Amino acid sequence: MAADVVDKLGRFGIPWIEKQADVGSLLAYYISNESHDSAAILHLVLGDRSAARDQLDAQIRRFPGSRDRLTAWARQIGLDWNPAPDAGAER
């Protein structure tokens, strides 16, 4: 069993960790997996408030029910953001 764990760690675990080794790689990972709220946080860490707003709009497009929660969160952290008019529109 231990050999199987070591094998899987080497084939899956370590490569996944290496892909998340820096903020840029982690940001690309979140965007590619449509985890836009997490990507917004990383954009804020990097100081790109405009990109953070864009990611929040994308999150609302994907999950329209998240509009109120994300709007409240943005207000709480002092991010000047109003969801784009088309964010949350039915697809």
The 10s digit of each residue's pLDDT in 4-44 is: 988 888 988 888 888 778 888 889 989 999 999 999 999 99
pLDDT confidence band for 60 (50 / 70 / 90)? very high
Judge contact between 37 and 14, C-beta under 8 A. Answer: no
**Whole-structure pTM value:** 0.74
Q: Which two tokens stand for residue 22?
A: 């820096």
- Where along the chain do its domains lie? 23-77
pLDDT confidence band for 89 (50 / 70 / 90)? low
Q: Which of 58, 49, 59 is nearest to 81 (CA)?
A: 49
